[in-house]
Amino acid sequence: MGFAWYRHPGLVVGGAIALALMAIAALGFVWTPFDPTRLALPDRLQGPSALHWLGTDHLGRDTVARLMVGAGNSLKVGLLSVALGLVAGTALGTWAASRNGSLLDEAVMRTNDFVLAFPAVLTAVMMVHLIGPGAANAILAIAVFNVPVFARLARSAALQVRSRDFVLAARAAGLTETRIAIAHILPNMAGLLVVQATIQFAIAILAEAGLSYLGLGTQPPAPSWGRMLYEARTYMQTQPWLAIFPGAAIALTVLGFNLLGDGLRDLVDPRARRART
Amino acid sequence: MLSFLARRLAGLAVTLLATALVVFVVLEILPGDPAAVILGVSATPETVAALRTEFGLDLPAPERFLRWVGGLLTGDLGTSYGYRVPVAQLIGERLQVTLPLAFAAILLATLVGVPLGMLAASRPRSLRDAGVMVFAQAGLALPDFWVGILLVLAFAIGLHWLPSGGFPGWDAGLGPALASLILPVIALALPQAAILARVTRSATLEALQEDWVRTARAKGLGAAATLYRHVLRNALVPVVTMLGVRFSFMIAGAIIIEDVFSLPGLGRLMFQAIGQHDIIVVKDLVVVFAALVVVINFLVDIAYGIVDPRLRRRA
């Protein structure tokens, strides 16, 4: 039985956008039409042309080159912050589930609620201000908000899996709790975690853009989409496209990964699909 | 009901005290002396010490914590290190921008998102459903600050209909003040409307599966009447939850939108205070914000009871 692609338009479109972005970001590591940080003041604030496809900024830097390198930046921050949150959150959630109802479980879940109750942007801004701006600290600040998301998901999924017969059988066979968690519980919730990771990735891209807009993320002269938008504000009267392209790049990336996440969720959990249709 | 209220209020107090303690400890272990930051590199040790005494920074940490919390309880939020005015006054001024902004945005998001979600759910897999879902995906993907920039490009720079930023203050008259809030409200509301449309749609679809919907239809009630009289109320519980969460997020989370439109709101106050090491303002703002979150959650719980009488007994 083949996979009916036409039944999953969101998945196909989202997957295509995500793949294209990764290709562009990868290309940006080895080749860009111009050096993205090279200053060329005579060429400043040009509109789109055959030479500079999307024009140049206030320092004469090529927008295409900066968008390409910015893509790599965004994807890097998104990937690392979600990976950190995924690993830490899943470990925490699975651990809490193995001691369901204990004081530890309660403490982990209440801390989760506490972190989730605060607006991510505000706390991330505070954190980055405190530990200093920069891509690495932005990754850390965004990861902090991914931990409770994955901890909560992993805990509820682990609790469900733990009540199944094969876990009982594994325990009767003398497996340790750690072995059971790794060999039986993790594989059974991997699908859910991957879906959530895709959605969180889209959120992380937005968060990174916001942080670098405020000057707290990737530091100049390294290009980042958020900072490009900030710099474009000064020239909006005369050069509106400077404010249009980076925003469109952010929106397209978030759209792609959201569509991919929704599509994957439909595949992994057909029940959610029925509820959504 | 009284014991329920008492329990909720006790929980509320514990949450706020815990928040205050966490914020105090985190800011305590931070490097950087507010007095030294304010006076700059040319300050002598004597003037720094004098300013530290003025701010009460020379007292032991536990005493400072107790004084601060005691002040909070009596409504005395202390004096800003940077602005040299009472923090309560600063926050009060900023709330005059932030609260109307957040209220108007959540109202607009509700007025757009909830009807759209129901419209989509009333005929799943139709063209209108697809249209609403496309709107929702777009609303989720567009960064609100970019929407703000685009709105400025179109309506301030292009058409000259509205100001591109700044806030003249309510004293300047209702017209100019409201005009300066229109674009930020739309930018803030769009992603929220998208989220609400999705939540409303799935909640409505779920409610439509219930047996009593079939009963209502079987006894001859029309599709529209069933939707509004029976389904909507049941679908509202998750929608109200989402509204509560979103509203509290908007009060403090509008930092970037406030920056785009140069609005003197709470978010910008927070941003500036952190940058200037105005620790007392940061501490107070976090506690004020936590209080808002807790109070809004409390109101949401009460709203549940109004929307869904079944939840009243359980509470």
In a domain, A20, yes or no: no
Q: Are residues B38 and B171 in the same domain?
A: no
Measured in angstroms, the CA of B71 and the nearest CA of chain A are apart by 24
Asked if A247's CB is within 8 angstroms of B150's CB, the reply is yes
Name beta bridge partners: B86. Answer: B79
Measured in angstroms, the CA of B48 and the nearest CA of chain A are apart by 22
Output Rg (C-alpha) for chain A, integer angstroms: 22
- Looking at the partner chain, which of A119, A126, A210 has a beta carbon nearest the beta carbon of B249? A119
Measured in angstroms, the CA of B278 and the nearest CA of chain A are apart by 12
Q: Which residue of A has its CA nearest to B202?
A: A276
Of A47-61, A76-90, A230-244, B254-268, the poorest mean pLDDT is in A47-61
Q: Which residue of A has its CA nearest to B120?
A: A277
Residue B297 near residue B11, CB atoms below 8 Å: no
Domain boundary among B74, B104, B134: B74
pLDDT of A83 over the 90 cut: yes
Nearest residue to B116 via CA among B130, B137, B138, B132: B132
* DSSP string covering chain B: -HHHHHHHHHHHHHHHHHHHHHHHHHHHTSS--HHHHHH-TT--HHHHHHHHHHHTTTS-HHHHHHHHHHHHHTT---B-TTT-SBHHHHHHHHHHHHHHHHHHHHHHHHHHHHHHHHHHHHSTTSHHHHHHHHHHHHHHHS-HHHHHHHHIIIIIIIS--S-SS----GGG-HHHHHHHHHHHHHHHHHHHHHHHHHHHHHHHHHHHTSHHHHHHHHTT--HHHHIIIIIHHHHHHHHHHHHHHHHHHHHHH-HHHHHHTT---HHHHHHHHHHTT-HHHHHHHHHHHHHHHHHHHHHHHHHHHHH-THHHHH-
In a domain, B79, yes or no: no
What's the mean pLDDT in A90-107?
86
Q: Are residues B143 and B245 in the same domain?
A: yes
Asked if B149's CB is within 8 angstroms of A276's CB, the reply is no
In a domain, B123, yes or no: yes
Chain pair A-B, CB pairs under 8 angstroms: 101
Q: What is the pLDDT of residue B116?
A: 93
- Looking at the partner chain, which of B141, B153, B252 has a beta carbon nearest the beta carbon of A255? B141
pTM: predicted TM-score of the whole model, two decimal places: 0.84
In a domain, A175, yes or no: yes
Q: How many domains does chain B have?
A: 2
In a domain, A68, yes or no: yes
In a domain, B183, yes or no: yes
Q: Determine the longest span between alpha carbons in chain B, in angstroms.
A: 85
Asked if B146's CB is within 8 angstroms of A247's CB, the reply is yes
Q: What is the pLDDT of residue A82?
A: 95
Asked if B143's CB is within 8 angstroms of A125's CB, the reply is no
Asked if A214's CB is within 8 angstroms of B205's CB, the reply is no
- Looking at the partner chain, which of B157, B256, B275 has a beta carbon nearest the beta carbon of A213? B256
Q: Are residues B147 and B279 in the same domain?
A: yes
Measured in angstroms, the CA of A133 and the nearest CA of chain B are apart by 11
pLDDT digits (tens, 9 = 90+) for A174-192: 888 888 888 888 888 888 8
pLDDT of A87 over the 50 cut: yes
Q: Are residues B178 and B275 in the same domain?
A: yes
Q: What is the pLDDT of residue B30?
A: 67
Asked if B153's CB is within 8 angstroms of A240's CB, the reply is yes
Asked if A119's CB is within 8 angstroms of B274's CB, the reply is no
Asked if B143's CB is within 8 angstroms of A209's CB, the reply is yes
| Cα B108 to Cα A73, A244, B191, distances in angstroms | 35, 25, 11
The conformation of residue A41, written as its DSSP 8-state character, comes to G
Structure tokens at A266: 């439909």
Q: Which residue of B has its CA nearest to A225?
A: B146
Residue B85 near residue B92, CB atoms below 8 Å: no
Output Rg (C-alpha) for chain B, integer angstroms: 24
Nearest residue to A148 via CA among A191, A100, A86, A208: A86
d(CA A159, CA A138): 32
Q: Are residues B226 and B285 in the same domain?
A: yes
Q: Which of A13, A122, A130 to mutate to test the interface with B (most CBs of B within 10 A)?
A: A122
In a domain, B32, yes or no: yes
Q: Please list the ranges in chain B whose pLDDT falls under 50.
A: 315
Q: What is the pLDDT of residue A28?
A: 84
- Looking at the partner chain, which of B137, B248, B260 has a beta carbon nearest the beta carbon of A258? B137
- Vertex B169, ends B166 and B174: CA angle to 5°? 110
Nearest residue to B120 via CA among B103, B137, B106: B137
The dihedrals phi and psi of B88, each to the nearest 5 degrees, come to -60, -40
Q: What separation, in Å, do the N-terminal and C-terminal C-alpha atoms of chain B show?
A: 8
Q: Are residues B194 and B162 in the same domain?
A: yes
Q: Determine the longest span between alpha carbons in chain A, in angstroms.
A: 76
Q: What is the dihedral of CA A159, A160, A165, A167, to 10 degrees?
A: -40
d(CA B51, CA A228): 40
Q: What is the dihedral of CA A100, A104, A107, A113, to 10 degrees?
A: -40
ipTM: 0.83
Q: Are residues B43 and B161 in the same domain?
A: no
Asked if B282's CB is within 8 angstroms of A126's CB, the reply is yes
In a domain, A105, yes or no: yes
Looking up residue A127, the CATH number of its domain turns out to be: 1.10.3720.10
Q: Please list, in sequence order, all residues whose beta carbon lies within 8 angstroms of the beta carbon of residue B272, skipping any fewer than 6 positions away.
A: B82, B278
Instruction: Domain of residue B65: give its range.
Output: 2-74
Q: Are residues B125 and B14 in the same domain?
A: no
Half-sphere exposure of A75 (CA within 13 A, CB side): 23
Half-sphere exposure of A235 (CA within 13 A, CB side): 19
| Higher per-residue confidence, B307 vs A226 | A226
Q: Which residue of A has its CA nearest to B22?
A: A114
Q: Are residues B43 and B172 in the same domain?
A: no
pLDDT digits (tens, 9 = 90+) for B164-220: 888 888 888 888 888 889 999 999 999 889 989 988 898 888 888 888 888 888 888
In a domain, B229, yes or no: yes
d(CA A276, CA A262): 10
| Cα B109 to Cα B123, B157, B180, B185, distances in angstroms | 22, 25, 18, 9
Q: Are residues B210 and B150 in the same domain?
A: yes
Q: Are residues B201 and B57 in the same domain?
A: no
d(CA A209, CA A217): 8
**Which chain A residues are Cβ-neighbours of B290 within 8 angstroms?**
118
The conformation of residue A174, written as its DSSP 8-state character, comes to T
Q: What is the pLDDT of residue A19?
A: 93
pLDDT of A203 over the 70 cut: yes
Residue A41 near residue A59, CB atoms below 8 Å: yes
Residue A70 near residue A225, CB atoms below 8 Å: yes
Measured in angstroms, the CA of A233 and the nearest CA of chain B are apart by 8
| Higher per-residue confidence, B210 vs A147 | A147
pLDDT of A273 over the 60 cut: no
Average pLDDT along chain B: 83
Q: Which residue of A has its CA nearest to B269?
A: A122
Measured in angstroms, the CA of A166 and the nearest CA of chain B are apart by 32
- Looking at the partner chain, which of B141, B290, B297 has a beta carbon nearest the beta carbon of A258? B141
Instruction: Domain of residue A166: give its range.
Output: 55-276
pLDDT digits (tens, 9 = 90+) for A37-60: 877 778 777 878 877 777 887 777
Q: What is the pLDDT of residue A17?
A: 93
Residue A94 near residue A181, CB atoms below 8 Å: yes
| Cα A68 to Cα A36, A53, A223, B261, distances in angstroms | 9, 12, 9, 28
Q: Which residue of A has its CA nearest to B245?
A: A117
In a domain, A98, yes or no: yes
In a domain, B83, yes or no: no
The conformation of residue A223, written as its DSSP 8-state character, comes to -
Looking up residue B103, the CATH number of its domain turns out to be: 1.10.3720.10
DSSP strand E in chain A: where? none
Q: How many domains does chain A have?
A: 1
Q: Are residues B67 and B170 in the same domain?
A: no
Asked if A275's CB is within 8 angstroms of B205's CB, the reply is yes
Measured in angstroms, the CA of A213 and the nearest CA of chain B are apart by 8
- Chain B residues whose C-beta sits inside 8 Å of any chain A C-beta: 18, 26, 30, 124-125, 137-138, 140-143, 145-146, 149-150, 152-153, 157, 201-202, 205-206, 248-249, 252-253, 255-256, 259-260, 267, 270-271, 274-275, 282, 289-290, 293, 297
In a domain, B124, yes or no: yes
Q: Which residue of B has its CA nearest to A207?
A: B143
In a domain, B82, yes or no: no
Q: Which of B135, B145, B269, B289 to mutate to test the interface with A (most CBs of A within 10 A)?
A: B145
Number of residues in chain A? 277
In a domain, A254, yes or no: yes
The answer to whether the bond into A221 is cis (omega within 30° of 0) is yes
d(CA B122, CA B127): 12
Q: Which residue of A has its CA nearest to B129?
A: A277
